[in-house]
Amino acid sequence: MANFNTSPGFANGSIAAFSINSGALTSTGLLFNPPGQFSPTVVVAVDPGLVYVAAAFSVAGYTIANPATGELSQIAAPIDAGLHRIFGATVDPHAAHLFTVDCVINLSTLQCDEGSVSSFEIGSGGALSSPVTTPTMNPIFPRAIAVDPNSNFAYVIGGPSPQGPGWIESFAIGGATPEPIAQLPAGTLPESVVVDPTDRFVYVTDDVGNVLAYEITPATGELTGPTTVASGIPGADLRTIVLVTVQLP
């Protein structure tokens, strides 16, 4: 998907595409409204022809049917996540699995009774298998997930709102089921997580304007830290962190 960026709508769950060939974003219009409530998460596989949309309680795969407009064609019926409310999703760099972070919703209290990580195997043509789910060690609202460049480990952040103490958990993802490794504190209500391309550090942003860094132990995936590498960033509520690598002359 080198030519297009997809963006979820905030209220109605719509998906739009933007051409980025010239370096500037040009809207190609509304693509569709996927089933499910709330704003969906859009993730793009390494294969540039595959797009996955994680709505509130379902996940679906799409191919880019029209390279000129970015129009999407659904691969199969969405996979129902049941009472697992999805908060974040990512595809591993080898395009072998899609991972989501979820909350099991208690219908009586409408609270998150159990956090979990779900793994969907990506099969022929981009079709997704039924998920394999592992509980997180901390049940309080998992919010986002990132996978290391070698597809060996995943890192999940979470924490209660508003501005409760955050956490980060590492998972081994080389087998059929995600396996929890360890948990560490992660600032105040962490919002986003990313692994640097050299596979040395994990970075987390939180709700009060901090950027936290954790060092990765390559053999085990365990983290050391955190170290606050930036703080007091104006505006706080740091919802997204993006790492950009540049080849210098």
What mean pLDDT do residues 59-63 have? 89
Q: How many domains does the chain have?
A: 2
Distance CA 19, CA 22 (A): 8
Question: Are residues 217 and 183 in contact, defined by beta-carbon separation less than 8 angstroms?
Answer: no
Residue 115 shares a structural domain with residue 154: no
247 has pLDDT over 90: no
Q: What is the pLDDT of residue 109?
A: 81
Same domain, 47 and 145: no
R_g of the chain, CA atoms, integer Å: 18
Are residues 69 and 141 both part of a single domain?
no
Confidence of residue 106 (pLDDT cuts 50, 70, 90): confident
Note every long-range contact of 212-219, with CB atoms under 8 Å and residues 24 or more positions apart, other chains counting.
212/186, 212/187, 214/168, 214/184, 216/148, 216/153
**Half-sphere exposure at residue 93, Cβ-oriented, CA atoms within 13 angstroms:** 14
Range with lowest mean pLDDT among 5-9, 19-23, 46-50, 201-205: 5-9
What pLDDT is attached to residue 234?
A: 61
Looking at per-residue pLDDT, the higher value among 145 and 107 belongs to: 145
Task: Give yes or no for residue 3 having a pLDDT over 60.
Answer: no
Domain containing 203 — which CATH number? Answer: 2.130.10.10
**For residue range 27-59, what is the model confidence (pLDDT) as tens digits?**
666 555 555 545 557 777 666 688 898 888 889
Range of the domain at 244: 137-249
Tell which wins on pLDDT, 186 or 36.
Answer: 186
Residues 130, 161 within the same domain? no
pLDDT of residue 69: 77
Indicate whether 31 and 128 sit together in one domain: yes
Same domain, 189 and 246: yes
Least confident range from 15-29, 149-163, 167-181: namely 15-29
- In a shared domain, residues 9 and 129: yes
Percent of the chain with pLDDT over 90: 40
- In this prediction, residue 149 carries a pLDDT of 94
Same domain, 59 and 130: yes
Are 97 and 208 in a shared domain?
no
pLDDT at position 129, please?
Answer: 92
Co-location of 183 and 207 in the same domain: yes
Q: Which residues contact 114 (CB under 8 A, 6 or more apart)?
A: 103, 104, 135, 136, 139
Question: Is 15 in contact with 62 (CB distance < 8 Å)?
Answer: no
Is the model's pLDDT at 146 over the cut of 70?
A: yes
Same domain, 88 and 27: yes
Instruction: Name the amino acid, one letter, at 12.
Output: N
Same domain, 119 and 7: yes
Q: Is the pLDDT of residue 199 over 90?
A: yes
Q: Is 64 exposed, middle or buried, given 0-12, 13-18 or 19+ CB atoms closer than 10 A?
A: buried
